Chains A and B, each alone.
Chain A
């Protein structure tokens, strides 16, 4: 199985900050990397797919980059509704696997 490792595991930031979360795959996954946002008691929401493509309806302050084994998710200017847990997921091979999550908290 491909292991996905996110960093940091948690992050404190303020509204208006720019934040970056990274995700590393244990094997190359080309650009088959997806990012999700999850709020308490809710299902995950797909934010970006294919490393950098914004899912329909997702604000443009979210962006992604990377290829191969190293990827990042950047939120350009944090909004109050962005405080949540973020997961990366590789779609390169089965079983698809998720990172352990990054909890983004209000400072």
Chain B
């Protein structure tokens, strides 16, 4: 079955960078776009951006423009989220997610496969 497995928890200092990985399995990696969503402690869900593993096209939420880079490695079927210039308010759980059967940018019908989440703590 389609599965996303993320890398482990990270602790970073303010100003540092973090790179979270999301290993995909159970499907042809280039078929479905992958979104990244974060959740600060006790807070709601915030969509950060999207990448197409097929052609590398990306779309970033404006507030993260210039600070986040999404990439994929098709040889290892892994997606990456790189967040720079970390601040304390970047402390959150970061999820990768996709809609099985959906390649396009806008998650019209939601995201039905999620990674387990990666906790990033900045202090």
Contact B109 A94 (CB under 8 A): no
Provide the residues of chain A in CB contact with B106, threshold 8 Å.
Answer: 32, 91-94, 96
Distance from B102 Cβ to chain A, minimum over Cβ atoms (Å): 10
A91 contacts B45, C-beta separation under 8 Å: no
Interface centre among B59, B110, B111 (most CB of A within 10 A): B110
How far does the Cβ of B2 sit from chain A's closest Cβ, in whole Å?
12
Closest residue on chain B to residue A101 by CB atoms: B44
Please report which residues of chain B, range 43-60, place their CB below 8 angstroms from some CB of chain A when the two chains form the complex: 44-47, 50, 59
B10-18, B68-76, B81-89, B112-120: which lies at the interface: B112-120
Known: A92-B106, A95-B61, A95-B62. A46 touches B112 (CB 8 A): yes
Show 30 residue pairs from A and B whose CB-CB distance is below 8 angstroms, ordered by the A residue. Answer: A32-B106, A32-B108, A32-B109, A36-B45, A43-B97, A43-B114, A44-B45, A44-B111, A44-B114, A45-B114, A46-B110, A46-B111, A46-B112, A49-B110, A49-B112, A50-B108, A50-B109, A89-B45, A89-B110, A91-B108, A92-B108, A93-B106, A94-B50, A95-B47, A96-B35, A96-B47, A96-B107, A100-B44, A101-B44, A101-B45
Q: Which 8 A-B pairs have the closest CB atoms?
A: A34-B110, A43-B114, A91-B108, A49-B109, A98-B45, A46-B112, A49-B110, A95-B61
Residue ranges of A at the interface with B (Cβ–Cβ < 8 Å): 32, 34, 36, 43-46, 49-50, 53, 55, 87, 89, 91-101
